[in-house]
């Protein structure tokens, strides 16, 4: 077909006067009536109604339209006409010429297909408007994060994902052959974030992949995920980190509401509310008391919260304070890494927190220990080989300011914001213990 007009995105049709247009996209539905045919066409920006009157002059086009299957890719040249009676955007395109670029096959997935089946055919699954909205929301969240950080003078860094030693512990590590030696995929950028504090960067952030050789099959675990990380110098306690963290999330939720709130309500039935500041803060010991008084016993030997405890404390905060977020603070030193700072006179706890959102933990943050002697002591106490930490400990021999930061799972944030049941829905191509395709 020879185009007399460039292709127009469907979302831009409303800005054009009535007249000739060219659109391209996938066929969503075809409605054949005796005297007229209607086609819903969707591209990456939205959907529009095509109309084709059935008569002798349009017989060939009508036959083509009747044979169109869902998902066929077509190019249409026709006349745009505003019509307030049309529910879909108040406009329609009268078909002049229609070319079928690709004939779709019978779809291997349906609306009721299992998540695993849909992941097998992810490129088809992602054609759903709901799926596209998920990743538009994710884009808005990341943009809001970056804008806030840049406005606050942060530096973006890109840390290596191939490491000579473990980033946090030797558990859940992927080993990679590396020439004559072995490398490891980074579990987090933790050590490098702290190195940036020694380098005098002050405030840094990174949004990048992280890897965990975790055999979990839960709705919130993956072997490769996008980690959102930030670290800041000159903190007085973990309170400074929490203040930075909650401001960041409040900006992101507000941006999502402004850009996508109406469509989220339409497609997911969720009316997002901008969170008030500050977020509630409850010490870990108090959380345990509240949860246990509510009838749930945490059976983990180390005292860490289990998923049911997270759900219960989140529900408690929602009921008593009307908030979707809650910081659980002052975790026991027994369940925290060696580099979390322990306040003077309270060696049993740490200046740390978990952030829970709508019943699920999305982030761990803390003030870091910046004194090298204490780091060595706490590493030994955790049974770690200090010799393997010498490169990391070397950062602190040249002076590191009091600092802290957090790591947060992006897919979890999007999942919980949109009320979805699994990060498989909010990960472009999910990776888990049994999934390396597509």
Binding site as annotated, residues for ATP: 361, 409-412
Return binding residues for L-aspartate.
168, 212, 364, 368
Binding-site annotation: residue ranges: 168, 212, 361, 364, 368, 409-412
Three-state SS at 376: helix
Assigned token pair, 413:
């944030």
CA 221 to chain centre: 13
Residues 6+ apart with CB under 8 A from 386: 376, 379, 380, 393
* Beta-carbon-side half-sphere exposure of residue 185 (alpha carbons within 13 Å): 15
Which residue, among 9, 1, 12, 13, has the nearest Cα to 79 in the 3D structure?
Answer: 13
Going by C-alpha positions, the residue among 50, 46, 43 that lies closest to residue 64 is 50
Residues in contact with 104: Cβ distance below 8 Å, sequence separation at least 6, in sequence order: 26, 27, 69, 70, 71, 72, 73
Closest CA to 102 of 68, 72, 77: 72
Contacts of 300 (CB under 8 A, 6+ apart): 306
d(CA 428, CA 122): 8
Determine if the peptide bond prior to 278 is cis (ω within 30°). yes
* Count of alpha carbons within 13 angstroms of residue 434, beta-carbon side: 6
How many Cα atoms within 13 Å fall on the side-chain side of residue 223? 16
The Cα 128–Cα 119 span in angstroms is 13
Phi, psi for residue 426 in degrees, rounded to 5: -110, 10
């Amino acid at each position: 077909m020879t185009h007399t007009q460039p292709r127009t995105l469907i979302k831009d049709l409303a800005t054009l006067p009535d007249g000739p247009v060219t659109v391209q996209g996938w066929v969503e539905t075809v409605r054949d009536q005796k005297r007229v045919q209607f086609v819903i066409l969707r591209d990456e920006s939205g959907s529009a109604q095509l109309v084709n009157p059935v008569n002798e002059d349009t017989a060939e086009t009508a036959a083509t339209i009747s044979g169109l299957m869902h998902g066929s890719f077509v190019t249409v040249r026709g006349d745009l006409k505003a019509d307030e009676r049309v529910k879909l955007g108040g406009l329609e395109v009268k078909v002049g010429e229609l070319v079928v670029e690709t004939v779709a096959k019978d779809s291997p997935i349906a609306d009721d297909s299992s998540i695993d089946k849909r992941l097998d055919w992810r490129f088809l699954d992602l054609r759903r408007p709901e799926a596209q909205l998920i990743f538009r929301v994710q884009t808005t969240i990341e943009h809001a994060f970056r804008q806030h950080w840049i406005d606050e003078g942060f530096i973006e860094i890109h840390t290596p994902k191939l490491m000579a030693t473990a980033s946090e512990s030797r558990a859940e590590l992927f080993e990679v052959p590396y020439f004559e030696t072995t490398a490891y995929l980074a579990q987090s950028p933790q050590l490098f974030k702290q190195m940036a504090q020694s380098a005098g960067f002050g405030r840094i952030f990174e949004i990048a992949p992280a890897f965990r050789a975790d055999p979990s099959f839960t709705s919130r675990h993956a072997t490769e995920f996008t980690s959102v990380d930030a670290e800041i110098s000159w903190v007085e306690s973990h309170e400074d980190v929490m203040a930075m963290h909650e401001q960041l999330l409040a900006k992101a939720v507000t941006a999502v509401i402004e850009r996508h709130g109406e469509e989220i309500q339409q497609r997911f039935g969720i009316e997002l509310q901008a969170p008030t500041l500050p977020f509630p803060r409850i010490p870990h010991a108090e959380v345990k008391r509240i949860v246990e008084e509510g009838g749930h016993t945490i059976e983990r030997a180390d005292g860490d919260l289990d998923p049911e405890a997270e759900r219960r404390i989140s529900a408690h905060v929602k009921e008593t304070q009307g908030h979707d977020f809650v910081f659980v603070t002052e975790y026991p030193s027994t369940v925290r890494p060696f580099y979390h700072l322990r306040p003077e006179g309270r060696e049993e706890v740490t200046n740390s927190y978990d952030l829970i959102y709508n019943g699920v933990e999305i982030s761990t943050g803390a003030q870091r220990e910046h004194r090298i002697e204490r780091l060595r002591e706490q590493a030994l106490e955790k049974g770690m080989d200090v010799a393997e930490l010498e490169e990391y400990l070397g950062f602190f021999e040249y002076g590191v300011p009091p600092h802290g930061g957090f790591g947060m799972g992006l897919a979890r944030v999007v999942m919980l914001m949109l009320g979805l049941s699994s990060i498989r829905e909010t990960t472009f191509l999910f990776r888990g213990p049994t999934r390396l395709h597509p």
